A and B are shown apart, each in its own frame.
Chain A
């Protein structure tokens, strides 16, 4: 039995919206086609997760947001994240629209483009069209299709050939109006031998039910290096479904750093397609589940190129009655000789009601490769707590040390100090109550 996709908008309205915001015809067509697809496609099939029981219909409608020119006009809910960013490169999306955009002038001079995606489709139409929806494709499932039909706001980051961007580019995406659609699309294109770090934060400030249907597409050119860091800290009532994909050309590198710190149900899929020879991928996911959260985290590496190393690490701590399904999929295609795919998924359970499940999968169609996986689901080791207590440390502090210690080997490798500290404090907030 298939469940009929409930369309949050009809074709006529979608077409009118597109027209009104002055979008090029090809985009309007693309949205309408995606909407049509959505009606016929089913939800993505996730391991041991019944998405059809999730609240995936509260899209809301497109609503305009008041733009602001100075950061001190930003809502208090994101103040801490944008502190001292006056001179930085920053985009802020609030609900359906981007409300603040700043690109450091020295980067603009070098040809870097950093603007909301709605503006980019008008100003840099050909460029955007070449990449948009090519990594996360609308025909994959109904969520991807609805994303392609409904996205608004969004980020377009383009780094020209040989340009090295040394300070992180930042985006903050805020949902604080339950009636407004929150479907941002992040598109990053790094041309050959360029280098860039992008960091974003997803924040909510509302108590009504809501949905974030997000897609991230990263195109890493030959010899380019992209570091992509994302922290999701959406509240209990916001359901988060996010697809992240990178396509990496010869000798390119993608680094994923993902902090899954939401309070609501979350499904995320972070995948690197190692298309070029010598391309590589490194993914680190840190997660804390609390309350009655249902969580499904997937990391994937698909190897086409020869000599392609990939490494994926997920560490998750589950408390209360949180449930997490953690999947790692390493796929090595025929011809990807000397590929090396490694993955580790570890879950630490803090309560007898918490559930954790780690599913490492290796799919290998080539002989001349190396691959490995490790997965574990466990509780705080009483021997370790005893050892720490035997030195005078209280039970509570001993357990805390062990739990933070579980995440530390991954957190400590995060190359951005600010992000590392932010993640640390989010972990403390989620574990500390």
Chain B
């Protein structure tokens, strides 16, 4: 069954300050939605609130995946229900190797007694790392510790590939990548596109969308989706920037907390 992901009236605040002012969005399996918008407009907050970051408090709304409200689940349950977030700033965790970490993540989805065998795991991991042009030694490195910006992003994509989620949120996966790395990451994403999987691609550049073509494009300002359209909207933003939207909607400062 194709994953259906519906966000309704989502409001969230951080340290008592409301950042998301009511987000509505519907996605189906197979679709790629892009969320664009200048810095400080609430894009990462949306991603974090959906994943359940402890600093963000959801005050209203629902986010249902195949009929189940993710927002009522703990972070790990959301992940096991099929949500994956490639983070803008992934944590570094000393002493935990990439392979131990990923094996725990895979086994958390399996019954006790039917854990993935080490051989099979290593074989899968090595194959995916090859696709992403990652040095196999990254298997044994501590999680993200001492990774360059680009290596961290690839490592996020590697995790996505290994965990086979239903809804993938990519938060600025293109930042800090040179053009070759961008292509590799985009290929990784495209190889995972399927009927059963939806993508929410957050970016403030159009660049990534040249390689991962979206079906829908949404623009975020002041903690809301202020405009939606097809791929042509991303192209217009690339050509003309965001000013025209602000003029059209009478927005002076697009960042959160600046609305009159």
Contact = CB atoms under 8 A, between A and B. Distances in A.
Interface string B62-87: 00000000000011101110001101
Contacts of A401: 93, 96, 100-101, 104
Contact of B91 (A387, A395, A397, A408): A387
Contact of B94 (A391, A395, A405): A405
Contact of B54 (A386, A393, A405, A407): A386
Contacts of B102: 391
B88 interface: no
Interface string A172-208: 0000000000000000000000000000000000000
Contacts of B79: 389-392
A382 B76 contact: no
Contacts of B84: 390-391
A392 B76 contact: yes
B161 interface: no
A383 B143 CA distance: 13
Contacts of B101: 388, 391, 393, 401
B189 interface: no
A219 B51 CA distance: 58
Contact of A393 (B51, B85, B108): B108
A409 interface: yes
B142 A405 contact: yes
A392 B79 CA distance: 5
Given A391-B159, A397-B104, A397-B108, A386 B95 contact: no
A384 B53 CA distance: 11
A406 B53 CA distance: 22
Given A391-B163, A395-B74, A395-B76, A382 B91 contact: no
Interface in A360-396: 381-384, 386-395
Interface string B150-174: 0000000001000100000000000
Contacts of A408: 94-96
Contacts of B229: none
Contacts of A394: 76, 108
Contact of B93 (A388, A389, A390, A395): A388
A158 B132 CA distance: 56
B75 A390 contact: yes
Interface residues of A, number: 24
Contact of A402 (B52, B53, B90, B96): B96
A392 B163 contact: yes
A410 to B, nearest CB: 9
B159 to A, nearest CB: 6
Contacts of B75: 386, 389-390
Nearest to B100: A401
B227 interface: no
Nearest to B79: A392
A393 B108 CA distance: 6
A387 B93 contact: yes
Contacts of A406: 94-95
Interface in B39-64: 51-54
A406 B96 CA distance: 8
Contacts of B80: 392
A62 B93 CA distance: 50
Contacts of A402: 93, 95-96
B105 interface: yes
A405 B108 contact: no
Contacts of B74: 389, 395
A173 B72 CA distance: 54
Contacts of B51: 390
Contacts of B96: 388, 401-402, 404-405, 408
B130 interface: no
A376 to B, nearest CB: 12
B95 A404 contact: yes
Interface string A391-433: 1111101100110111111000000000000000000000000
B162 to A, nearest CB: 9
A386 B53 contact: yes
B109 interface: yes
Nearest to B96: A405
A393 B91 contact: no
Nearest to B81: A392
A390 B80 CA distance: 9
Contacts of A393: 76, 101, 104-105, 108
A383 B109 CA distance: 22
Nearest to B108: A392
A398 B105 CA distance: 10
A344 B78 CA distance: 38
Contacts of A382: 54
B47 to A, nearest CB: 10
Contacts of A389: 74-76, 79
Contacts of B87: 387, 390
Contacts of A407: 95
A409 B95 contact: yes
A382 B93 CA distance: 11
Q: Can you list the 10 inter-chain pairs with the closest CB atoms, starting with the nearest?
A: A405-B95, A408-B95, A387-B91, A392-B79, A391-B105, A405-B96, A389-B75, A392-B108, A389-B76, A392-B80
21 contacts: A386-B52, A386-B91, A388-B96, A389-B76, A390-B79, A390-B84, A390-B85, A391-B102, A392-B79, A393-B76, A393-B105, A394-B108, A395-B74, A397-B104, A401-B93, A401-B104, A402-B96, A404-B96, A405-B96, A407-B95, A408-B95
Interface of B: 51-54, 74-76, 78-80, 84-85, 87, 90-91, 93-96, 100-102, 104-105, 108-109, 142, 159, 163
Interface of A: 381-384, 386-395, 397-398, 401-402, 404-409
Given A392-B109, A402-B95, 20 more contacts: A387-B91, A389-B74, A390-B51, A390-B75, A390-B79, A390-B84, A391-B102, A391-B105, A392-B79, A392-B163, A393-B105, A394-B76, A401-B93, A404-B95, A404-B96, A405-B94, A405-B96, A406-B95, A409-B95, A409-B142
